[in-house]
Amino acid sequence: MNIIQLALAEQVDEDKQLRALLEEMGVKHIDIVVEYIRNIGDNLHDILAMDQQQIQEIADRANESNFVQYLPAIWLATQFGKRDFIADFEAKISPQLLEFYDRYGQLIAKDFKLDYFPELMAQRKEYEHWVDGLGKMMNQSNENTAGKLIRQALAEEKGIDWLAEKLESSGQFKYNRARQTAQTEVFRAYSSTDYSSYMTNNDVIGLEWNHDSPKTPRENHMAMDGVRIAKGQTFNVGGYEARFPRDYNLPPEESVNCHCFLTPIMVGESL
């Protein structure tokens, strides 16, 4: 089995595990969710790989300069500003995320025999605002990691090979980060649309938080398992208010790779 065949086999296994997780979470329209996570993850990985290459080129230019003891911040900021990461993210990833939101939202609306209802449209605006900032957040993370390593390589005369190895091992540009980001953001979108449908449904009187444990479960999320609130109230997740898992105001440590989900409490059930 060659490298390409091995990668495809690993992706098939990933998708199989993802389907099992989505079934446990009670997610609707699983085929579409898996499709978008796979495609967004692959595209984001390509963008990250290109960014790693462009950062390496910046490091090469710094190494060829006279910046031996220190690296002027303005020079590095200017070089980083010439990279294509944000433009590529906004051209390729943002539209895919919004396309998923609309497609999944329309299916949820159809499930409930509703138009693309106002509650969902309002949530869509929130998601669009979130996506607008997502590429910038990832870009800043890449710059922080790369900037620190470039300065260290120059100050300690580590050399370009050392820097290339450190960039590769940082995890910032690997497929795993791309796939995890794709999964988190698609999960965030489906959580938002499901929440909107529950808020619109007059038969729903409350919501229950359910914890589905990843490999490294969060104590805050385990503590939330089974917590119920009345419709319109918010959950308290580690001191942060949240309407649903991966809500926009939750920090990364409470949202990235989160597998939690909501179930509706219907008329006649107890809170």
Q: Given a cut of 70, is residue 53 above it in pLDDT?
A: yes
Q: Residue range 217-232: average pLDDT?
A: 93
**pLDDT for residue 156:** 86
Q: Given a cut of 80, is residue 12 above it in pLDDT?
A: no
Q: Given a cut of 50, is residue 177 above it in pLDDT?
A: yes
Tell me, what amino acid is at 133? G
In this prediction, residue 6 has a pLDDT band, given cuts at 50, 70 and 90, of very low
The pLDDT tens digits of the residues spanning 26-51 come to 899 999 999 999 999 999 999 999 99
Q: Determine the Cα–Cα distance for residues 22 and 25; give it in Å rounded to an integer.
A: 5
The pLDDT tens digits of the residues spanning 85-142 come to 999 999 999 999 999 999 998 898 888 777 666 667 788 899 999 999 999 999 999 9
In this prediction, residue 64 has a pLDDT band, given cuts at 50, 70 and 90, of confident
**pLDDT for residue 5:** 43
**pLDDT for residue 80:** 96
